[in-house]
């Protein structure tokens, strides 16, 4: 027998996109959230470098151009504009919620720089910015009486009534089938890294929402736009690749070949740097290149990159004393379920946010540290759209019982 559940909004995914959608919805909205594994096993937790913000009005043109250039000018300009203009409000809101961004002695936000950025405009917390933001959002969402979170519960399909989405079919770890009836449904299940042998993503990210969307004939976009991150720590151990944040190169770390020579501008877009590394490895017949932190003061390393330092020490490398072996790895998916600027898919009452969606912000190649920002901006817009549509109350028992399993 299938378990029947009813809510106003069903959200599949508990990364920053799903969490912020829930947090931005009115408090009277009854929300059910699904998490495929435990709450901490989401890729948002792994983001190291930071989150972009428009520094000031004079930075707009440069930030816009940096995003477009990194995306090979295949970005949707309207989406890029919305993201950039919304960025300061997002950062202010995160600070209000308690996110501990690194600050200067005068209390102002400290900014760092990453590849393809023309100036420092990235807010960060040490080298675990994603973890800091995600755990802050988790804390707030868990405190909401209108939100129920189901961990170890996997979305297996969506339910439909007529041409619209009417909720989610799911399966618990114990094998129970759930039919979660909802007026509006949000897909926020992340990317596709679990389909790759070498990826910085959690293995559980297997493109579930994209597969389901394709099954129901929804419009998908740019499924071949997969980003390779230039620097993951080379290891022969199986499992998820450990990311070495691009902000390390922004602070002065350089790439070296087997002879200890630089061979590329480390701050070019990720696809360009990854290609240069692959060419160098092929030329040398090697399985990795080297990343040297020698130009970064030891005090900066210990303060800005403490977790990278700790992990590398566990692997036998002291980044304060020696270069580390690095290799490109699958990192991010720019394609996904096509959505408009309000995160609406081509099926009524079905939304997609975060890496699952494709709103066109990233184009063919994502600019560093735009992912967290894009997820939050368009999650907020999805919540606003849903809230506007749900001003009237629904009788879910009668209106949606026809969609039961």
Q: Which sequence positions are flagged as catalytic?
A: 270
> Which of 9, 11, 13 lies closest to 27 in space, CA to CA?
9
Q: CA 93, CA 95: separation in Å to the nearest integer?
A: 5
Contact 222, 191 (CB under 8 A): no
At residue 301, the 3 state secondary structure works out as helix
Contact 236, 242 (CB under 8 A): no
Sort 4 into a burial class: Cβ within 10 Å, 0-12 / 13-18 / 19+. middle
Contact 344, 351 (CB under 8 A): yes
Q: CA 114, CA 116: separation in Å to the nearest integer?
A: 7
Contact 323, 292 (CB under 8 A): yes
Contact 328, 246 (CB under 8 A): no
The dihedral built from the CA positions of residue 267, 268, 270 and 276, taken in this order, carries a sign that is: negative
> Which of 56, 59, 60, 16 lies closest to 40 in space, CA to CA?
16
Inter-helix orientation angle 77-97/371-389, to 10°: 90
């Amino acid at each position: 027998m299938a378990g029947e559940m009813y809510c106003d909004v069903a959200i599949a995914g508990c990364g920053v996109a799903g969490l912020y959608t829930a947090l931005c919805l009115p408090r009277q909205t009854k929300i059910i959230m699904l998490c495929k594994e435990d709450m901490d096993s989401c890729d948002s937790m792994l983001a190291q470098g930071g989150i972009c913000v428009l520094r000031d009005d004079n930075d707009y043109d440069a930030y816009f151009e940096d995003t477009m250039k990194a995306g090979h000018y295949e970005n949707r300009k309207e989406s890029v504009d919305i993201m950039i203009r919304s960025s300061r409000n997002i950062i202010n809101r995160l600070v209000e919620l308690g996110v501990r961004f690194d600050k200067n002695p005068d209390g102002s936000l400290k900014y760092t720089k990453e590849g393809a950025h023309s100036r420092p405009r990235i807010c960060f917390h040490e080298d675990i910015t994603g973890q800091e933001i995600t755990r802050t959002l988790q804390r707030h969402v868990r405190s909401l009486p209108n939100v129920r979170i189901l961990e170890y519960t996997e979305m297996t399909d969506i339910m439909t009534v007529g041409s619209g989405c009417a909720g989610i079919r799911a399966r618990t770890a114990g094998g129970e089938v759930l039919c979660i009836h909802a007026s509006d449904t949000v897909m926020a299940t992340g990317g596709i890294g679990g389909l790759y042998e070498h990826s910085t993503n959690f293995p559980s990210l297997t493109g579930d929402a994209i597969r389901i969307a394709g099954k129901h004939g929804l419009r998908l976009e740019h499924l071949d736009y997969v980003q390779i991150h230039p620097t993951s720590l080379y290891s022969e151990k199986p499992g998820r690749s450990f990311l070495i944040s691009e902000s390390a190169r922004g602070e002065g770390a350089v790439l070296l070949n087997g002879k200890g020579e630089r061979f590329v501008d480390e701050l070019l877009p990720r696809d360009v740097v990854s290609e240069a590394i692959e060419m160098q490895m092929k030329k040398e017949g090697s399985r990795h290149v080297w990343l040297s932190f020698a130009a970064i003061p030891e005090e900066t390393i210990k303060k800005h990159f403490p977790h990278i330092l700790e992990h590398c020490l566990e692997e036998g490398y002291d980044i304060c004393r020696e270069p580390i072996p690095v290799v490109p790895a699958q990192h991010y998916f720019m394609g996904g379920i096509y959505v408009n600027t309000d995160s609406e898919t081509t099926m009524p009452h079905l939304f997609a946010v975060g890496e699952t969606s494709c709103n066109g912000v990233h184009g063919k190649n994502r600019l560093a540290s735009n992912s967290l920002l894009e997820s939050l901006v368009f999650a907020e817009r999805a919540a606003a759209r849903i809230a506007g549509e749900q001003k009237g109350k629904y009788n879910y028992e009668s209106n949606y019982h026809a969609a039961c399993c």
